[in-house]
C-alpha cells in the first residue's frame, strides 16, 4: 500500500493532473496560519498563494487554525480580525492605522477594544465555493458550509449551514453519532489505516467506523453498541 498521496508535497502525487488542488500545509508561510495534513484548497488555476488569495487582513496576533482533511472550495474568503473597524464609540473610522498623531491619540483606545479570537476550522470540514468566513468563528469537525454562505457565528460539528447569514439546514447525524465520531477522530488515524477503511469513512455509518476503531481506539466499539 504505497500509492497514497504524499502530504509533504504541494499537489497530490497520485494525480499529477490535479494541479488545482494544493495541500496547504506545504504552501502557507505565515506564522499566523496552522494547517493539518491533507487539507486542501481548490485554487482553480489561480497561482496566488492561499494566504493572499483567501485569507484577508492577516496581521495577527489572532491565528487561523485549520484541521486535517478539510476541503476549501474556489473563491472562499476568510476574514481575520485585522480588518475590523472599531465600534466602541461614535465613529468606526480606523484612525490608528494611519500612524502619526492619529495613532498616538488613539492607540490606547484601540488596544482596549475587545477583539475576536482565533478563527478555527476543524477537521473534515467542507467549505463550498465562494463562502465567506467572518473573524473569530469556530467551525466544528465534519461541518459543511454551503456555497456563497456568509458564516457570522460558530458552526457546530457535523452541522450543514447555508445562506447569508449562514443558518442551520440540518445535522448530518444524531447527537449520539456526532459524539461517537468526535471520539473516534478518524482523521488522526495513521494514513495506512485510513486508506484501509476509506470506503467506510466515505460511505459508512458512525457505527461502521466504531467497528474498526479497535485498531486505533480500543473500547470505542464496545461503547457504540
β-bridge pairing 40-42 and 21-23: antiparallel
What DSSP string runs through 1-65? ---S--TTSSS-TT-TT-TTEEEGGGT---TTEEE-TT-EEE-TT--S-HHHHTEE---SSS-EE
What is the C-alpha to C-alpha distance for residues 47 and 108, in angstroms, rounded to an integer? Answer: 40
Contact 180, 165 (CB under 8 A): no
* DSSP conformation class of 177: H
Sorted by sequence, the CB contacts under 8 Å of residue 207 that are 6+ apart come out as 177, 180, 224
CB 51 within 8 A of CB 28: yes
- Which residues neighbour 225 within 8 Å (Cβ) at sequence distance 6 or greater? none
Is 197 catalytic? The answer is: no
> Which is the catalytic residue, given 85, 100, 203, 225?
85
Q: In what order do the strands lie in the sheet with 144-145?
A: 21-23, 40-42, 71-72, 126-127, 144-145, 159-162, 167-171
Catalytic residue IDs? 85
Amino acid at each position: 500500500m504505497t500509492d497514497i498521496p504524499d502530504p509533504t508535497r504541494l499537489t497530490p502525487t497520485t494525480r499529477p493532473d490535479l494541479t488545482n488542488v494544493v495541500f496547504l500545509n506545504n504552501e502557507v508561510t505565515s506564522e499566523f496560519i496552522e494547517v493539518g495534513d491533507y487539507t486542501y484548497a481548490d485554487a482553480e488555476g489561480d497561482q496566488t498563494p492561499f494566504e493572499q488569495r483567501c485569507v484577508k487582513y492577516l496581521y495577527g496576533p489572532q491565528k487561523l487554525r485549520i484541521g486535517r482533511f478539510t476541503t476549501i472550495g474556489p473563491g472562499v474568503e476568510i476574514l481575520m480580525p485585522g480588518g475590523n473597524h472599531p465600534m466602541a464609540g461614535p465613529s468606526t473610522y480606523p484612525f490608528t492605522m494611519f500612524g502619526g498623531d492619529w495613532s498616538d491619540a488613539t492607540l490606547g483606545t484601540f488596544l482596549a477594544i475587545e477583539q475576536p479570537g482565533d478563527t478555527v476550522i476543524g477537521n473534515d470540514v467542507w467549505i463550498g465555493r465562494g463562502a465567506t468566513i467572518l473573524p473569530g468563528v469556530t467551525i466544528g469537525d465534519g461541518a459543511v458550509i454551503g456555497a456563497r454562505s456568509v458564516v457570522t457565528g460558530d458552526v457546530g460539528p457535523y452541522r450543514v449551514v447555508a445562506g447569508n447569514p449562514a443558518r442551520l439546514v440540518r445535522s448530518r447525524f444524531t447527537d449520539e453519532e456526532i459524539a461517537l465520531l468526535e471520539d473516534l477522530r478518524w482523521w488522526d488515524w495513521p494514513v495506512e489505516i485510513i486508506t484501509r477503511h476509506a470506503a467506510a469513512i466515505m460511505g459508512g455509518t458512525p457505527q461502521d467506523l466504531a467497528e474498526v476503531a479497535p485498531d486505533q481506539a480500543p473500547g470505542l466499539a464496545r461503547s457504540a453498541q
